[in-house]
Structure 1
Amino acid sequence: MQDEVDRIATALAERIAPLVPGRDAPRRIVAMAGPPGAGKSTMAERTVSALVARGHAVVLMPMDGFHLDNRLLEPRGLLPRKGAPETFDFAGFAATLRRVREEPSVILPVFDRDREIAIAGAAEIRAETRLVVVEGNYLLLDEDPWRGLAPLWDLSIFLDVPMQELERRLVDRWLSYGFAPDAARDRAGSNDLPNAARVMAARARADLVVRDGALHPG
């Protein structure tokens, strides 16, 4: 599995590398989207590492830093749905993406999975960064307001994984956190899988699709 991820990440890096602009050109942004359990985080990290190894000034920007805090989700009745599209600060995320395009230095929040909180001011996109790979579930969601992100992407990539495989991975994820098998299935089925189905059913066209271990045109 690791060899396959590395192979695909190398192929993605080869497709992205020609987009990396020169020092005086506007910064570019690549979206890597897909349902929960698709392996976006690992694929994005490996792709960025492959680009950096080629000497490109590229960084990763996860969307997870824009999770709403539990103190806001609970009174809205959204805490059990944490991770769904409506549990993110979309306006803040979109505004930050526009700043990434236009401003030399941008400070970012980072999501701490151990504590399940977003930490403000925890990362920076520096002036020398020429391309940013953004990773998240809903970057290509064809619903308002998310579809409004489309003009920001210079290239969009979607990781397409069958629902049966997503279910297996998501249950395994909760098992790895120490949940009993029944509790792990309940956790995956109550939130993760509905979010995955939503992403798969309402995704906008991507420039590239990763499916069955290969790259395909969107």
Structure 2
Amino acid sequence: MLTKTIPTTTDAYTSFTRSEWSTLAYQASVSLTDEERTQLQGINETVSPDEVEQIYVPLTELLYMHTTHAVNLHNDQNRFFHRETKKVPFVIGIAGSVSVGKSTTARLIQALISRWPNRPKVDLVTTDGFLYPNKVLEERGLMKRKGFPESYDIRKLVRFLSDIKSGRKSTEVPLYSHLTYDVLSEKSQPIDEPDVVIVEGINVLQVNKKDRRISPVFVSDFFDYSIYVDADEENIIKWYIDRFKVLQHTAFQDPNSFFHRYRHLSETEAEEVALSIWKTINGVNLEKNIRPTRYRADMILTKGTGHRVEQVQVKKS
């Protein structure tokens, strides 16, 4: 009797080591200044010139191929249908754990895309603004599950993406304050006729399977390309604790900070509190809701120590 071999999920990807990936760039002259890299990097995170040139330049060149293909397909369809319709924005989704550095990845991609020959307008949207306000989370008993699927207004996020992909000229997205740990009710981010929109958040590849009231339209259905930023949990925990300790001596000192009560902790106490938060909230969310979406992405960036990308996996097409 013949045994049928079932392909593994990773068989769907072509894998590149860092050195292999670094040889792919055609436009290595495209880069960022020291000042720009400093402005774009996250808390307790350093972005080296090598990281930009060896990882993010080839990555954005691949994205350029995809956007060019999308434009050509749009023009071909206009000719086929005898219609003249405006090209809608190319949408890139970026997912990954808390503290894995996905926000820095998003900012680097935004900066490099804006340098493309056609100088596209690139907007970056974070899904933090689509969290329910703290008042709502408190009423629903969800403050300790902030970041879990049920803490987001997914309908609102889907509606925004639908507006973008339907060609709406301008719209707005809610903003979030990491200082007050809450949605800013009186402020919003205008989105006005972008060429590219980057949507970054821990939840962007999730499928809403826990809430049957939500339409079976997923956030990722609106993406033209998606990236998952990955790392061993041991590294992510270290980055989370290190970031917590930096914030304790900076942002937490502000009386308006939601975490102001942690400002006087000793280093040992700060590490214990950060680790407790990770184990009870962020680690659980990573295991149950975030990491399972990894293989829904078109690309997986796997980081090693120091936020250095060591492997790039690209889904086969």
Provide the TM-score with structure 1 as the length reference: 0.90
Residue-pair matches, total: 217
Q: What residue in structure 2 maps to residue 205 of structure 1? A: 296
Residues 1:26 and 2:116 are matched in the alignment: no
2:95 and 2:203 in contact (8 A); partners too: yes
Shift of 1:181: 1.8
1:104-158 deviation per Cα after TM superposition (whole angstroms, max 9, x unaligned): 111111111111121244211112x111011010111244268722321111111
C-alpha displacement at 1:48, in angstroms?
0.2
Task: Report percent identity of matched pairs.
Answer: 23
The answer (yes or no) to whether the contact 2:95–2:204 under 8 Å persists in 1 is yes
- For 1:73-84, what aligned pairs fall within 5 Å after superposition? 73-84=137-148
Cα gap change, 1:84 to 1:5, in 2 (>3 Å):
farther
Matching residue within 89, 111, 133 for 1:49: 111
Are 1:124 and 2:190 an aligned pair? yes
SS in structure 2 at match of 1:24: coil
State which structure, 1 or 2, has the greater radius of gyration over its C-alpha atoms: 2
Corresponding position of 1:158: 228
2:286 is equivalent to residue 196 of structure 1: yes
Partner Cα separation in structure 2 for residue 101 and residue 5 of structure 1: 32
The runs of 5 or more residues in structure 2 that have no matched partner are 1-45, 72-84, 249-261, 263-269, 304-308
Aligned to 1:177, the other structure's residue is in SS state helix
* Equivalent position to 2:206, from 125, 133, 141: 141
Q: Residue type matched to 1:30 in 2?
A: I
1:110 is aligned to 2:207: no
1:96 CA displacement: 0.6
Q: Say if 1:96 and 1:77 are closer, same or farther in 2 by CA, change over 3 A.
A: same
Matched, 1:87 2:151: yes
Distance 2:281 2:294 in 1: 18
Is 1:15 matched up with 2:62?
yes
State the Cα RMSD in Å.
Answer: 2.1
- Other structure's SS at 1:9 match: helix
Task: Give, in whole Å, the separation in 1 of the partners of 2:172 and 2:122.
Answer: 16
Residues 31-62 of structure 1: CA deviation (Å, up to 9, x unaligned) = 11111122110110111011112222211111
Look up the SS of the partner of 1:141 in the other structure: coil
Q: Which moved more, 1:148-157 or 1:131-140?
A: 148-157
Q: Distance in 2 between matches of 1:5 and 1:124?
A: 31
Q: Cα–Cα, structure 1 residues 142 and 93, in superposed 2: closer, same or farther, change >3 Å? A: closer
Amino acid across the alignment from 1:126: D
Q: For residue 181 of structure 1, what is the aligned residue in structure 2?
A: 271
Report the Cα distance in structure 1 between the residues aligned to 2:51 and 2:282, rounded to whole angstroms: 22
Which amino acid is 1:93 matched to?
L
Q: Secondary structure at the match of 1:53?
A: coil
Give the Cα separation in 2 of the matches to 1:25 and 1:173: 40
Please give the per-residue CA displacement for 1:64-113, whole angstroms capped at 9, x wherever unaligned.
Answer: 11111111111211111112121111110111111111211111111111
Tell me, yes or no, if the aligned pair for 1:143 and 1:202 is still in contact at 8 Å. Answer: no
Q: 1:84 to 1:60 in 2, by over 3 A?
A: same
**Partner SS for 2:180:** coil
- Equivalent pair of 2:91/2:222 in contact (CA under 8 Å): yes
SS of the aligned residue for 1:16 comes to helix
Task: Please give the secondary structure, in 1, of the residue aligned with 2:86.
Answer: coil
> Residues 100 and 236 of structure 2 are in contact (CA less than 8 Å); yes or no, is this contact kept in structure 1?
yes
Higher relative contact order, chain-length normalized (CA < 8 Å, sep 6+): 1
Point out the more displaced range, 198-207 or 92-101: 198-207
- 3-state DSSP class of the match of 2:179? coil
Structure 1 residue 5: Cα displacement: 4.5
| DSSP 3-state at the match of 2:197 | strand
8 Å Cα contact 1:105/1:126 also seen in 2: yes
TM-aligned CA deviation for residue 24 of structure 1: 3.2
Q: Judge which range, 24-33 or 10-19, deviates more.
A: 10-19
SS of structure 1 residue aligned to 2:226: strand
